[in-house]
Amino acid sequence: MIQVQVIEALKKGIYEAKTTGKSIGFVPTMGYLHEGHMSLAKQAREDNDYVVMSIFVNPAQFGPNEDLDKYPRDLERDIKMAKDAAVDLLFFPQAHEMYPQDGGITIHAGAQANVLCGASRPGHFDGVLKVVTKLFHLVEPTRVYFGQKDAQQLAIIETLVRDYNFPLEVRRVPTVRESDGLAKSSRNVFLSEEERLQAPAIYQAIQLGIEHFKEHQNVEEAKKITTQHIEKGTSGNIDYVELLSYPDLTKDISTNTSVILAVAVFFEKARLIDNMMLNNKGE
């Protein structure tokens, strides 16, 4: 596995892969890798000739009240896991390498960023679009891989790629879960022992809500059932429970609309998100 920290070395590796006609699968991450990331790398490995992974804790997507320095990091472990996943090139730059200058040009996410996580994190998805735009240009991937757990991010990136004709394909990869249903997340390490026992109730609640919506097509009742199960089963504070169209993320839902039931819950030291999608065929 090639390990690079500077853009020039990354571009050299990409050029060599491209000139030999290889397809490139790209897995952008913020590190502290877990099985969810590995599922992305595995899918990229199956679909492509050459796999690139990036590890970059992107300061542009952290707000003024969010502690960038406390984001979990373990580069040595991440490098080992990337090797085990048969990644061909690992790119782990410093912030000054990614953002050496600031010419004042910005990218703003649209209305999709004003709901769910974006409602309480203004500017967050602007920062996401800033870094993925740069990474997409640097890596020039054939396909790029994102997990469905971060569904709002996925929807916004899919919209960026569609509306601005990026020459790549976005691949959705299903959420990887613990045996009790809890979605894998780097933030799970911040849960107390008691909170960890409670956390699977979030996914259980979403399943109940989706099943009710599938049968009755009643948005408010589905949200109520989801909310009640979380409140009964956890000590966490609900940030939101929303049922929206997908990928537009609006409240305009018809019988032929794909939907997402998405939840965010605050525990003492961690904020957990999860969701389920239901397509327009009821699947």
Residues of the binding site for beta-alanine: 61
* Identified catalytic residue from 37, 124, 212, 229: 37
37 is catalytic: yes
Alpha-carbon torsion, ordered 89, 95, 100, 105, to 10 deg = 100
The H or E element that residue 82 is part of is helix 75-84
Residues that constitute the known binding site for ATP: 30-37, 147-150, 176, 184-187
b/e burial code for range 262-271 (CB count within 10 A of at least 16 → b): bbbbebeebb
- 210 closest CA partner among 229, 196, 184: 229
Residues that constitute the known binding site for (R)-pantoate: 61, 153
Give the number of other Cβ atoms within 10 Å of residue 273's Cβ.
Answer: 21
State how far the Cα of 126 lies from the Cα of 131, in Å rounded to an integer.
9
Residues that constitute the known binding site: 30-37, 61, 147-150, 153, 176, 184-187
Rg (CA), the chain: 19
- Point out the residues that are catalytic: 37
